[in-house]
Chains A and B, each alone.
Chain A
Amino acid sequence: MQDAALEGSDEEIDMEGEEETAEAFHLPTAEERAEEKNHVADIHVVQRRMRECVRVLGNFRKLGANGRLRSEYVEQLVSDIASYYGYNDFLAEKLFQLFPVSEAIEFFEANEVSRPVTIRTNTLKTRRRDLAQALINRGVNLEPIGKWTNVGLQVFESSVPIGATPEYLSGHYMLQAASSFLPVIALKPQPNERVLDMASAPGGKTTHIAALLQNTGIVFANDANKARTKSLTANVHRLGCKNVIACSYDGREFPKVMGGFDRVLLDAPCSGTGVISKDSSVKVNKSERDFHLLSHLQKQLILCAIDSVSPDSKTGGFLVYSTCSVTVDENEAVVDYALRKRPNVKLVDTGLGFGRDGFTKYRGKTFHPSVKLTKRFYPHVHNMDGFYVAKFKVEKRAKIKAGTQETGSTNAVDADEQQDVGFDSDEDKAFIEEGKRIQMKAKGLRVPRRRQSDIAGKVVKAAA
């Protein structure tokens, strides 16, 4: 009954067209929400409620209703976003948490609009000015993308299909999203280098690298999916890249196949939360498990990529990690993991003049402070796909004295434990030693030989 009355009053206000609805706005209680689940929600009601929630959350202390929690508003807003834009609840919440409230709405709005069509001039065959002129003659309306690139063109409208002009077919340009330029610009390959592109199909970035190398040196273009290597080779041949070796390995096999690269680009397989405007199936088909699997794969790949870089390279020794995803567990978390696992790498500036800094803290997780040097790109801010770029410098492995530092820290922990729980560390010494040995082995450090006393301890343990 109460529900019906409220809805009635809402409609009344809507008809009057009043903007001042603060006192009329009522956050549905848990029961009312359960009720609403049963029938299809009115889209105008949902939209208005979202607007109100955003407004209230913007100044909660003043506008929040008595006795209602901030989390209730957030919960309502997230579920409204999920139903209004058609996301599953998990993904809506995950993306919502990345931004302040009002910006989150902008982000979701931007995902509904498609990004501008952009092309990249193939500098192996033509110049941007010539290409622009040729396309204008065919009735294409275009303009350079921005100051940050001298090969990109943005297409506004075209009377001919832009992917089938004679210029396209003879390899004068590549249809490529603006965001895909970024990792290659960050990679900055120099002529005569050996470069690896670990996940390369359909070859937009590979051919960009080959163009920057001016067909010198060598580009290894790898893709795990054999079917996708067809489009890769087609593009490589069409754009006239003669220094490319295409192969189809699992990226994780890589330092074994070939190592010693001057530069490595890892455009990792990702959930695609940055390109929802291109592929909206992401909205519903990604679950928590997918994110776990993907970030696990990304962590494996980034370590392999680091190991493939030659630290002795005179001109390079760089790795660029990029994803077309905006979530933290595929980006900063992976980068932080790599920094922890490989002490010989450090983050360096990407050399891209724009983009937001990476998160150093996120929902209780603290990352290495240098993660700030990585760059994030958002559809609602930069008008390109959501993207993430991190650039590493791989240095020579320093010879670390295994054990010295480690035992120091673990000893301190032991002392703590002793006070709290009251174990007798002398008695458990054999076990503690054994535990340390296992830990060191797991980290790949060389384990010192067993001492006689340890063996004695083991015997005692066995006897017990």
Chain B
Amino acid sequence: MRPLTEDESKAVFTKLANYIGKNLIHLIDRKDEPYCFRLHKDRVYYVSESSMRMSISVARPNFVSVGTCFGKFSKSGKFKLHVTALDHIAQYAKYKVWIKSNGEMPFLYGNHVVKAHLGRITEDTPEHQGVVVFSMSDVPLGFGVTARSTVDTRKLDPTAIIVFHQADVGEYLRDEETLF
């Protein structure tokens, strides 16, 4: 386990900024307790400093996870955000999409959000913007990228894709083997 290098932090932060924008600062400078990012193998963990200190005593081959896993670096050095980061992202999300209850299950099976399932959307969301997907009862379900801006969605037909799927909580079941 080690802190991120400059390149790695840049990759992680730009990816996060995609969803939470300037709120990123709240993740790094927390009022309650200092938190930090740590890399183990190719996974990035977001963890409080006290937990991090404790986990130092775990030997590398026996280490499994600490705090929250945010995602992983691919072999080519790109950072992929995992659904496990959803809690933290949802808390600070700038742009949100709410889907109707009939759209919940299709989304949780890994499908894109279509216009027919769209319940609400944050005003003036630009195109290709990272958004967090909520159910109508404000439970975060996953995140993705908008296909159209809010203005453009008005004139689309019901089967048109609004949000491209990136991650959803269904992956806890579907991808348990590969996610961790």
Contact = CB atoms under 8 A, between A and B. Distances in A.
Contact of A170 (B48, B58, B68, B141): B141
A238 interface: yes
Interface stretch (B9-17, B21-29, B59-67, B146-154): B59-67
Interface string A236-271: 111010111111110000000110000000000000
B65 A242 contact: no
B57 A257 contact: yes
Chain B interface size band reads 35 or more
Nearest to B58: A247
A352 interface: no
Contacts of A240: 87
Contact of A258 (B54, B84, B176): B54
A166 B65 contact: no
Interface of A, helix, strand, loop or mixed by DSSP: mixed
B179 interface: yes
Nearest to B83: A237
B140 A170 contact: yes
Nearest to A130: B137
Given A166-B104, A230-B177, A240-B87, A249 B137 contact: no
Contact of B169 (A170, A194, A246): A170
Interface string B103-116: 01100100000000
Contacts of B168: 169
Given A170-B139, A246-B64, A164 B58 contact: no
Q: Most chain-A Cβ atoms within 10 A of its Cβ — which of B51, B62, B64?
A: B64
A233 interface: yes
B122 interface: no
A229 B171 CA distance: 17
A247 B137 contact: no
Nearest to B134: A170
Nearest to A240: B87
A236 B65 contact: yes
A218 interface: yes
B97 interface: no
Contacts of A171: 169
Given A170-B141, A242-B48, A248-B62, A237 B84 contact: yes
B51 A233 contact: no
Q: Most chain-B Cβ atoms within 10 A of its Cβ — which of A171, A172, A245?
A: A245
Contact of B173 (A167, A169, A218, A226): A169
Contacts of A246: 64-66
A247 B64 contact: yes
B140 to A, nearest CB: 7
Contact of A245 (B55, B108, B137): B55
Given A232-B64, A242-B68, A247-B64, A237 B172 contact: yes
Contacts of B64: 226, 229, 232-233, 246-248
Interface string A94-115: 0000000000000000000000
A134 interface: yes
Given A218-B51, A234-B180, A249 B62 contact: yes
A425 interface: no
Interface in A196-246: 218, 220, 226, 229-234, 236-238, 240, 242-246
Contacts of B104: 166
A83 B137 CA distance: 54
Contacts of B126: none
Interface string B150-173: 000000000000000000111011
Contacts of A163: 173
Given A166-B105, A230-B180, A245 B169 contact: no
A166 B141 contact: yes
Contact of A233 (B47, B69, B87, B137): B69
Contacts of A247: 58, 62-64
Interface in B24-64: 47-48, 50-51, 54-55, 57-59, 62-64
Given A247-B62, A258-B54, A164 B173 contact: yes
Contacts of A134: 137
B57 A238 contact: no
Contacts of A233: 64-65, 69, 180
B144 to A, nearest CB: 16
Contact of B135 (A164, A166, A249): A166
B140 A237 contact: no
Contacts of B173: 163-164, 169
Contacts of B141: 166, 169-170
A238 B172 contact: yes
B54 A238 contact: no
Given A166-B105, A166-B141, A218 B54 contact: yes
Given A166-B104, A170-B169, A234 B68 contact: no
Contacts of B50: 218
Contacts of A231: 176
B136 to A, nearest CB: 11
Contacts of A242: 47-48, 67-68
A169 B169 contact: yes
14 contacts: A134-B137, A166-B135, A166-B139, A170-B139, A170-B141, A170-B169, A230-B177, A234-B179, A237-B172, A242-B48, A243-B51, A247-B58, A248-B62, A248-B63
Closest 6 CB pairs of A and B: A246-B64, A169-B169, A237-B84, A233-B180, A246-B65, A247-B58
Given A167-B139, A236-B65, 7 more contacts: A169-B169, A170-B140, A230-B180, A237-B65, A237-B68, A238-B169, A245-B55
Interface of A: 134, 163-164, 166-167, 169-172, 194, 218, 220, 226, 229-234, 236-238, 240, 242-249, 257-258
